[in-house]
Structure 1
């Protein structure tokens, strides 16, 4: 009876929260698609990217307040409640993400969906006058609803919300609210007629390697997957390192902070003209022109350039590090899929399979959520290659080290048992201990005379 009462209570609490989150995410996805395709037909908008960055900066300075901490603020509130989540976080992040993509910034959408979910869930928690323990659960459910809704992966959304808070620990106390919220959020997006991109792994040919008749898997292919997954983990490490270092370097160099998005926007424009094509701008899902490198194109031979993954890494870390808004996950999908495409040629492996493995594994390494990403592979690509999904995600997780895109993520259990880390150290604390370039550049600030 007590279990039934608990389940009924949280179902009643979560249903309205998840429906509203799913509806706002559906609106966001529609606006995002409009902004991206509008820029496709008005390519001159890229030249206004620096001004768009300055506008985003002043929006957060004037009304954003603590909202600028984004996903990290939500994680802090779940781990250790403080000042709460401002209700303006949802509309501000929605607006500024659309602005970023409208003018060509290379960003994602997961961060926006998670902040929408956390902000709306926090608002409902205050209306319901929830205590601290229940607020923790409803915020976790909000994260699950936002993530599950934006990608069409409800099971992944639920597990991600439980796994992302701490490295090496999953908090099962919110498992029911998170699952309900993720499912309802995803169904709500579908009900609004918003659909997600479908991906497909080609059927693999049967092999005749030695012992293949006695093993439930292709051991040669498995060895190639492990080797590629090491590269996926290192790509995660590089991305996390660069986005944090670029942001810190800009802060160290510029006294007037509005110069940061101005500089970032100009660098992105310059890179685009040096490369000679706009493939690495914006989300990277839809093609601006026939033959463009996109996530879907990476699932086919010749669908990515050798260094597409590195260019996208540079574009996205510059965009996010200079203050533009959005998320990191879809660019991580792009980086992983294009790197998988490149590695498939080097390792003589199936292109679509390795693109799919990179898609989920680079994300797993950068967010330190290997279990959620394994389930994402199953939800997006089917369960036939579940073993390879797990191998790729857990290998990348290990080789990404103690880095990640969420600085408020806590290290509950170190990846290496001999790691000299205190309990509950955050990635932000760890970054402060490292002697990076921005610390050496702090004395060379660019100043203007008053």
Structure 2
């Protein structure tokens, strides 16, 4: 009888669930605890800088310190999120255990001195390094290590933003464009939920967002359709802009990094010069709104993600300034993530577009918040779900429309160069399946160089 039960398909599925629950539970607790510590330190550093504004002048020297910390202890950790993706695609030397603590410390340093960066990259790298450790302790097979690394990504992402379902979907969607790794969804969901629960248990609170737009009862063609067609057309136009903003951000980070590496041979000078440029930009704009995360207001009336949900809460070019500040910060070697700056870029751009098109400001800020992120990470499904988790499910149609259009209009670009093309975004694409975004960038760079080679300056 027992032998027959073991042969049943549902018995193997039950074993699978128990196995990953046993592994994911301690992994989620460990990652959630590390993320909670990181968020507490990050928040403390940001508010300390608010009360000690002179710290911005030490940013170039902070950049030098970060450079030598990675040179001394980083090993392959310098590749960040891309290393984790490489290990999922083609296992090699593994994710070093020092990646998590090192990126935690250096991200806090970046924000303490005013660098414009995010926090998702840090949380994902914490998740990846912890997952690699747990894989070694549980003596997992190579196949299971790949799954656990995706679970680590999910737990880190879900814990840092308080969006467990988004974290789970992000973990399986971010690996390859157009393909979902459903074989890892259960471990990702377990780890992400437990990671988020752990952060809450440590009494770390996430920022809340609110859309004050209420769809009225009278719609265009309301006798035939359940939505406002004019509003949908405006959302589609805005989504194209969100996708192009994603493309501009990803390409700017990539090109700034390449330019500095090409022309500056003394590597520690790169973050030093990057810090100086940020200081000069700070003087140029005359306010600190585009430094650090952009979530908490440094002074009354400052432009933040929260303020962008209100009329007058963003300048027309706030999204562009944040793009420039963040691209220089990350492109010159400072540490942190890209996602929170992408939230800022998207929400402020949404604010400007709403005013331009006479559309609901808070709704368009929310759409930009998730859609620019969707285009830059090539994860439209995860970002649609994020919209539901953060803003409510009544706008899900608008969220999906904005995220998927932005995804296509961002082209074959993105902030993670190790992402692979599972399915190209267009039938006429010249990029092959399994190409990485790094391959795409090299093809594009070679094409541009060949065109410029025809001209003599």
Taking structure 1 as the reference length, what is the TM-score of the superposition?
0.96
Match of 2:109 among 99, 105, 121: 99
The 3 A distance-change label for structure 1 pair 68 and 438 is: farther
**Partner Cα separation in structure 2 for residue 354 and residue 410 of structure 1:** 30
- Partner residue of 2:6? none
Matched, 1:271 2:271: no
Asked if structure 1 preserves the Cα contact closer than 8 Å seen for 2:21 and 2:190, the reply is yes
Residues 338, 246 of structure 1: CA spacing in aligned structure 2 closer, same or farther, 3 A cutoff?
same
CA distance in 1, matches of 2:147, 2:136: 13
Partner of 1:146: 156
Q: CA deviation at 1:213?
A: 3.1
Pair 1:115 & 2:125 matched = yes
In structure 1, what is the Cα distance between the partners aligned to 2:12 and 2:272?
A: 57
Could you report, residue by residue, the CA deviation over 1:370-409 in whole angstroms, capped at 9, with x for unpaired residues?
0000000000000000000000000000000000000000
Q: Could you tell me how far apart the structure 2 residues matched to 1:5 and 1:209 are? A: 51
CA-to-aligned-CA distance 1:94-122 (integer Å, 9 cap, x gap) = 00000000000000000000000000010
Task: Name the SS of the counterpart of 2:441 in structure 1.
Answer: helix
Give the superposed CA RMSD.
Answer: 1.2
Structure 1 position 129, deviation (Å)? 1.0
Distance in 2 (CA, whole Å) between partners of 1:98 and 1:310 is 24
The aligned runs of 1:43-192 (5 Å cut-off) are: 43-192=53-202
Kept in 2, the 8 Å contact 1:212–1:219? The answer is no
SS in 2 for 1:62: helix
Corresponding residue number in structure 1 for 2:424: 414
Residue 343 of structure 1 corresponds to which residue in structure 2? 353
Show structure 1 runs of 5+ residues with no match.
441-450
How many equivalent residue pairs?
440
Cα displacement (A) at 1:420: 1.4
Q: CA 1:120–1:285 in structure 2 vs 1: closer, same or farther (change >3 Å)? A: same
Contact 2:213 / 2:363 at 8 angstroms: preserved in 1? no
Aligned 1:146-295 pairs, distance under 5 A: 146-206=156-216, 208-295=218-305
Compare 80-89 and 210-219 and name the one that shifted more.
210-219
SS of the residue corresponding to residue 261 of structure 1 reads: helix
The alpha carbon displacement at 1:205 in A equals 4.7
Partner secondary structure for residue 309 of structure 1: helix
What corresponds to 1:296 in structure 2? 306
From the superposition, tell whether residues 3 and 437 of structure 1 become closer, same or farther in structure 2 (CA, over 3 Å).
closer
* Contact 1:245–1:436 (8 Å) recurs in 2: no
Query: How many Å apart are 1:174 and its aligned residue?
Result: 0.4
Contact 2:88 2:149 in 1 (8 A): yes
2:40 aligned with 1:30, yes or no? yes
Q: In 2, are the aligned partners of 1:250 and 1:260 still within 8 Å (CA)? A: yes
Match of 1:376 among 381, 386, 391: 386
Instruction: Supply the distance in 2 between the matched residues of 1:417 and 1:157 (Cα, whole angstroms).
Output: 30
Range with greater deviation from structure 2 (358-367 or 417-426): 417-426
1: CA distance, partners of 2:15 / 2:367: 41
Give the deviation of 1:439 after TM superposition.
6.6
Distance 1:435 1:357 in 2: 31
Match in the other structure for 1:447: none
Separation in 2 of the partners of 1:65 and 1:349?
Answer: 49
Distance, in Å, in 2 between the alignment partners of 1:213 and 1:58 is 66
Q: Which moved more, 1:4-13 or 1:235-244?
A: 4-13
> TM-score, normalization: structure 2?
0.95
Q: Structure 2 regions of 5+ residues with no counterpart?
A: 1-10, 451-457
